[in-house]
Structures are given as C-alpha cells and as structure tokens.
Amino acid sequence: MEQEGSLSFFELNRRLNEMPEFDASAPGSTKRTLYGFAISLFAYCCSFLIQHLPLSAEAEVTALCAVVAVEIIGVSMIVWYSRSEFRGVNRPVVNFAKQLDHDLPHHFELIAWLQSQPLHTLKRHASMARFRKERFAQKLPLIAGSIPTLGLVPVAVALYFQIRELAAGRHPGIVDFVAGFIIVLLYFISWVSALMKSRLEGMEMYLQTALEAKRGD
C-alpha cells in the first residue's frame, strides 16, 4: 500500500487533477454554458426520434418546430454565457496571460513535491513515463488515424450532411442515425486516447523537470 504523499502515477495524476482551474468567466457561467450544450444536444436527439413517432403530419411539423426552438435556446445560452471571450480581439490573449499567472505557483508546488521524492524513484517513474509516451505515439495513429488532429471536423461534416438531408425534406433513417452515432463514438474514443496521451506527456515533463532540478542540487 502506497503511503499518502509518496510518488506513484496514481498520486501524481490525483495532484494534477486537483490543481485549481482558471476561469476567466463570470461565476456560474461555465455551468450555464454546459447546460446550454446539454439542451442543444437533447433537442438534436429528439429531432431524430420525432419522425419515428406515430404522429400526424401537422403534429410532426409542430413538434419539429418546437425542438428547433429549444435547440436555438440552448445555442443562445452557449453564446451568451461565453460572450466574455468575444468582447475583443485581445481578450483570449489577456485571459491566457492571467491563466499563466494563476498556474505559476501550483506548477512549482508540484515540482517541489516531486523533488522531495527519492532520486531512484524519480528515475524509475520518469523512465516509465517516457516509455509509455513513445508507445502511445505508435499506437494512437492505429486507433484514430488523424482524427485528433482534425478535431471536431469529422463530426461537423457528418452533422452538416444530416442537416442538409433534413432541409431537403429527406428525413435520415435508422442507418444514417447509426452511422452518425458510430462517427461520434469513434471520435469520443480517439478524444479520450488523445487526452490520455496528453496527460502522460504532462507527467513526463514534470518528472523530467524535477529529476533535472534534483540532479543539479
């Protein structure tokens, strides 16, 4: 059983997770933005379900209009509660500078904790992190190709074609819905893998920085 405070990847990950996040937005706005995203996603899913319900043509049109209205409300919430990022061209740069100031003491606090660990323990963990990072670099392209590089582009393209079909009066069938779900699922898997690789790279950088500092003492 690892003693609390002794170095392990679990403990290092816990400390990284507990580092306070910088939030330049107004209090509570981030949570409201997430609510807006959830509302939009719920309305989008309902638009697929409505066409499979035993409704008359008039009722189906009414239901679709209501769903579109709800989705617009969700998107409006996202835009409104994240508007601080768009008040000026320099706003994102200013917020990034504030984030660096916010992260600075927590960054060196974590390095100081790593430096307090035995040298051989630091070497072992740094070596393991470097090895697994190289393995991730080899395996991730096999899982996701270049999806992490493309970002949300694949999902946005799939969404565009579905909206175009709806606008043309051709309601997507179950096959289209399943295909879209698979695309989103594959993107989610690649996104999680990319997050794991990013966290591993962060661990390795912290371990190497602490190791070099400890050797220089």
In DSSP notation, 62-85 reads HHHHHHHHHHHHHHHHHHHHTGGG
Q: Which amino acid is at 179?
A: A
- pLDDT averaged over every residue in the chain: 79
Domain containing 168: what range? 9-25+82-216
Residue 60 lies in a domain: no
What average pLDDT does the segment 46-66 reach? Answer: 83
Tens of pLDDT, residues 109-158 = 999 999 999 999 999 999 999 999 888 777 766 655 555 555 556 666 66
CA angle at 149 for the pair 32 and 82, rounded to the nearest 5° = 20
**What's the token pair of residue 146?**
């270049």
Q: Which of 60-74, 100-114, 129-143 has the highest mean pLDDT?
A: 100-114
How many domains, in total, are found in the chain? 1
Predicted local distance difference test score (pLDDT) of residue 214:
86
Residue 191 or 86, more confident: 191
Residue 113 lies in a domain: yes
Residue 159 lies in a domain: yes
Residue 188 lies in a domain: yes
Residue 209 lies in a domain: yes
Residue 210 lies in a domain: yes
| CB neighbour list of residue 174: distance below 8 Å, 6 or more residues apart | none
Tens of pLDDT, residues 153-208 = 666 666 677 667 666 666 666 777 777 777 777 777 777 787 888 899 999 999 99
Residue 153 lies in a domain: yes
Provide the percentage of residues in the chain whose pLDDT is more than 90: 26
Burial of 125 (0-12, 13-18, 19+ CB in 10 A): buried
Residue 80 or 104, more confident: 104
Residue 38 lies in a domain: no
Residue 1 or 42, more confident: 42
